Amino acid sequence: MAAGVCGLLAVSARAGGPTTIVLNGTARDFASSPSQAAANHVSYDNDFENAEADDKGIVALPSELNPNGTPIYNTIALGADGTPVYLGGNGTATTFAYGNATAEQQFYAWYHNDPTYNVDIPISITLTNNGSGLYTFNDPNFFPLDGLGFGDYADGHNYSFTDEFDTDFTYTGIGSETFSFSGDDDVYVYINNYLVIDLGGVHGTETQSVNLDDLGLTAGDAYSLDIFSAERHTTGSDLALQTELVLSSAAVPDSCDTGLLLAATATLLLLRSWLGKRTLVASESAA
């Protein structure tokens, strides 16, 4: 996704970034039981509504994690298709083989459109600037697929889904640029195609943060930021993130963008007027 105008100018949120940032993403709904799968003529992925446990072995090897379970930076890369690579072998504490599908094949369906397993639905979240350049999104009841996909539980919520947001930003290098994510269940965040946050497993709300100054990034350069998460068990779902980064956005242009767009529009109008006059002069000369 291309960076927004303010991002291209490396404008920090602390120097007057947009009021809101909208991240567009994709959610994928999965059947929550074999009976629901049969009713919808899809395969059941039993990574959902199954075991509960912290599970840091899904997209990382033990040698690639610090003792506290955080990723060792610049070691765990996204796959060639831009999605997490399954490293759980024959299965982990919360990912499994099922029927004729291997554990890897079941995980693959989490972040790929596959009518055999899921239905994909566009979603978005809006981050709000607190006035000091800190962007936040906090939803303790994050159920973007209620009333959609394969249907809701008796409590009126649709569980058993994954979501993915792909964006980018310009690293300013001015210091104190962080990205923090809280959620249940799995959360995987990649910056510059490398894993920086790993909250794998089926668990209650957990939080992890990354300081971008520790990643060896170059000030003024643009980098990708990819977020993958999963809601794999009833009965709660929450999602929260905060950052000083000005992420690229599909929002209505803010004041920074608007000023530049107005200037560009005025330039185009002047150019059109000038070209029109040249055409008129050429026509009169030919006559």
Quote the Cα angle for 273-277-283, to 5°.
145
Q: Identify which of 37, 47, 159, 41 has the alpha carbon closest to the alpha carbon of residue 94.
A: 47
The pLDDT value given to residue 241: 97
Q: How confident is the model over 205-222, as a mean pLDDT?
A: 96
Categorize the per-residue pLDDT at 46 as very low, low, confident or very high, splitting at 50, 70 and 90: very high
Q: How confident is the model over 69-84, as a mean pLDDT?
A: 96
Give the position of tokens 């497993």: 201
Neighbour-count burial of 270, counting CB atoms closer than 10 A to its CB (0-12 exposed, 13-18 middle, 19+ buried):
exposed
Instruction: Tell me the longest C-alpha to C-alpha distance in the chain.
Output: 85
Q: Given a cut of 60, is residue 287 above it in pLDDT? A: no
The type of residue at 148 is L
**Mean pLDDT (the chain, rounded):** 85
Categorize the per-residue pLDDT at 14 as very low, low, confident or very high, splitting at 50, 70 and 90: low
Cβ proximity of 191 and 214 under 8 Å: no
Q: What is the pTM of this model?
A: 0.82
CA distance 190 to 82: 10
The pLDDT value given to residue 198: 97
The pLDDT value given to residue 34: 94
Residue 147: count other Cβ atoms within 10 Å of its Cβ: 10
Please list the residues that pair with 197 across neighbouring strands: 189
The pLDDT value given to residue 49: 94
Higher pLDDT, 187 or 12: 187
The pLDDT value given to residue 6: 27
Q: Given a cut of 80, is residue 204 above it in pLDDT? A: yes
Structure tokens at 153: 């539980």
Give Cβ neighbours of residue 171 (< 8 Å, ≥ 6 apart).
Answer: 177, 212, 217, 218, 219, 220, 221, 222, 223
Q: What is the pLDDT of residues 138-172, one digit of tens each?
A: 999 999 999 999 999 989 999 999 999 999 999 99
Q: How confident is the model over 226-237, as a mean pLDDT?
A: 94
Residue 53: count other Cβ atoms within 10 Å of its Cβ: 11
The answer to whether the Cα torsion of 130, 203, 116, 153 is positive or negative is: negative
The pLDDT value given to residue 235: 84
